[in-house]
């Protein structure tokens, strides 16, 4: 049985001859099969993984240089393209569609000797906060199978939570990495917009989408970020900037928080109390933690959903049954497109496409999209000002812990409001990380969210690590 605490520990075992990549693949394949009821994986690339493991073992044994992710077992969310493998975005409209190219993040994983073990279940086209919207069934939370894992990257979160892979790649448009990480008690990192290429990531809302990382600890997440970040000729939005500055600061970081976020009526009372006590503990421990004013909390969820559904309406117009994917054959072209989209898109995707089409329509664009863009601009200006005063912000991650399956599926507004603390980072394009710190009296995990200024992942990771360490004396 494999036993290690981090990717570096595992790689030490490999280099010392105490384990092999084949051993690791066998271990995780068995775990995936044993936990098939969780529905975290839609497909396991068993043959590919063993072939890859043999290649890497031979490479290492021959004394050849190895990559930064040598032998690391990685799962990828079913919205990330992997050449020669199915990518369905959790939807029937792309059922059995095979990717003809690698996403840039996949290419970078492979170049650094990672082993991709399978594709993971998710809400259809990454639209959802519970993973109940997948066309291939709900993912179950490994800590309590009656509860959701969060969404939309629920399968990716559960795969790390249940030890079905070492790390996972998900996508985060409005919290789809950080919220399920919080529900599952693992680390969830959303990089800055522009830090990681989106080439090969099936689009939901292009100005919000970002590939994110699930891991068991911050060091593993940082290592994967180092590998997948950087410029890409296929994505003009990627910024050519080093992940780690040459001279990282050794000073004490100043942490800010908005009291309104920790006192919001939607926040579970026990979570609010625990987080408030932790903030006091940080201050008593000598850390600089200051309160700041913020008056846009009630505007960010409406602005987010107006803008993302507008972008989704545009992005998903390509799924018409004419070029690729599922198709209903009709004599008339218009009827074929209408029948295909009505048949193969799920309920939540249809809802968001219709909402997006409505706000983009003549007579409504100025009233909705233009106003939402103004809110986004005001928010970005306020964020820039905030980070002139502090190095990081701390937020709750979600109003509550993982809820019961079916509890919110009939109330889309309540489901939308579950994103109240995470969409902030996507609107502003800044990095955020969810770190597991606490346990609720209901037995479920929850933690805190840390955010930093654009492209300042080094500070983000450093502060997150400090919070994890400080929490050891808090418990």
Pick the catalytic residue: 152, 153, 168, 229? 152
Distance in angstroms (rounded) separating the CA atoms of residues 221 and 168: 9
Helices (H), 99-142: 104-111
Distance in angstroms (rounded) separating the CA atoms of residues 408 and 414: 7
- Judge whether 18 counts as a catalytic residue: no
Task: Read off the DSSP letter of residue 104.
Answer: H
Pick the catalytic residue: 77, 190, 274, 408? 77
Pick the catalytic residue: 99, 176, 197, 327? 176
- Judge whether 152 counts as a catalytic residue: yes
Distance in angstroms (rounded) separating the CA atoms of residues 361 and 411: 25
Helix (H) or strand (E) holding 41: strand 41-44
Distance in angstroms (rounded) separating the CA atoms of residues 341 and 264: 39
User: Which position has the token pair 């639209």?
Assistant: 127
DSSP bridge partners of 116: 74
- Judge whether 134 counts as a catalytic residue: no
Judge residue 96's burial from the number of C-beta atoms within 10 Å of its C-beta, 0-12 exposed, 13-18 middle, 19 or more buried.
exposed
Strand-pair category, 187-190 with 115-120: unpaired
Helix (H) or strand (E) holding 44: strand 41-44
User: Which position has the token pair 């990672």?
Assistant: 114
Q: Cα 413 to chain center, whole Å?
A: 21
Q: Catalytic positions, please?
A: 77, 152, 176
């Amino acid at each position: 049985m494999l036993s290690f605490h981090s990717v570096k520990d595992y790689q030490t075992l490999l280099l010392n001859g105490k384990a092999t990549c084949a051993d690791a693949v066998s271990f995780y394949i068995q775990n995936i099969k044993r936990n098939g009821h969780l529905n975290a994986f839609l497909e396991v690339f068993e043959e590919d993984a063993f072939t890859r493991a043999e290649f890497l073992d031979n490479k290492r044994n021959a004394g050849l240089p190895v990559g930064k992710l040598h032998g690391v077992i990685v799962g990828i969310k079913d919205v990330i393209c992997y050449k020669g493998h199915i990518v369905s975005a959790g939807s029937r409209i792309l059922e059995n569609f095979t990717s003809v190219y690698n996403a840039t993040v996949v290419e970078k994983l492979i170049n650094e000797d990672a082993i991709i073990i399978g594709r993971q279940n998710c809400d259809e086209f990454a639209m959802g906060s519970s993973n109940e919207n997948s066309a291939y069934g709900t993912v179950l939370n490994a800590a309590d199978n009656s509860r959701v894992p969060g969404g939309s990257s629920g399968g990716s979160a559960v795969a790390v939570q249940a030890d079905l892979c070492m790390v996972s790649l998900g996508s985060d448009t409005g919290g789809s990495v950080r919220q399920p990480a919080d529900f599952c008690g693992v680390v969830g990192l959303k990089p800055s917009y522009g830090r990681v290429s989106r080439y090969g990531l099936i689009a939901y809302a292009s100005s919000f989408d970002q590939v994110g990382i699930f891991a068991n600890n911050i060091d593993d997440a940082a290592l994967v970020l180092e590998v997948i970040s950087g410029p890409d000729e296929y994505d003009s939005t990627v910024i050519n900037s080093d992940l780690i500055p040459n001279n990282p600061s050794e000073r004490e970081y100043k942490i800010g928080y908005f009291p309104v976020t920790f006192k919001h009526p939607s926040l579970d009372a026990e979570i609010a109390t625990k987080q408030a006590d932790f903030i006091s503990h940080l201050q008593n421990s000598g850390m600089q933690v200051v309160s700041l004013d913020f008056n846009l909390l009630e505007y960010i969820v409406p602005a987010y959903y107006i803008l993302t559904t507008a972008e989704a309406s545009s992005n998903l117009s390509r799924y018409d049954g004419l070029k690729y994917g599922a198709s209903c054959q009709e004599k008339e072209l218009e009827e074929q497109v209408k029948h295909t989209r009505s048949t193969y898109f799920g309920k939540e995707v249809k809802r968001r496409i219709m909402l997006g089409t409505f706000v983009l329509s003549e007579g409504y664009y100025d009233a909705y999209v233009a106003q939402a863009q103004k809110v986004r601009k005001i928010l970005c200006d306020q964020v820039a000002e905030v980070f002139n005063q502090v190095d990081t912000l701390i937020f709750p991650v979600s109003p509550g812990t993982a809820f019961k399956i079916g509890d919110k599926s009939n109330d889309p507004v309540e489901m939308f409001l579950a994103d109240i603390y995470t969409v902030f980072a996507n609107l502003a394009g800044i990095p955020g990380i969810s770190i597991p710190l606490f346990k609720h009296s209901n037995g479920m995990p929850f933690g805190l969210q840390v955010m930093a200024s654009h492209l300042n992942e080094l500070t983000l990771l450093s502060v997150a690590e400090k919070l994890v360490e400080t929490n050891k004396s808090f418990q």
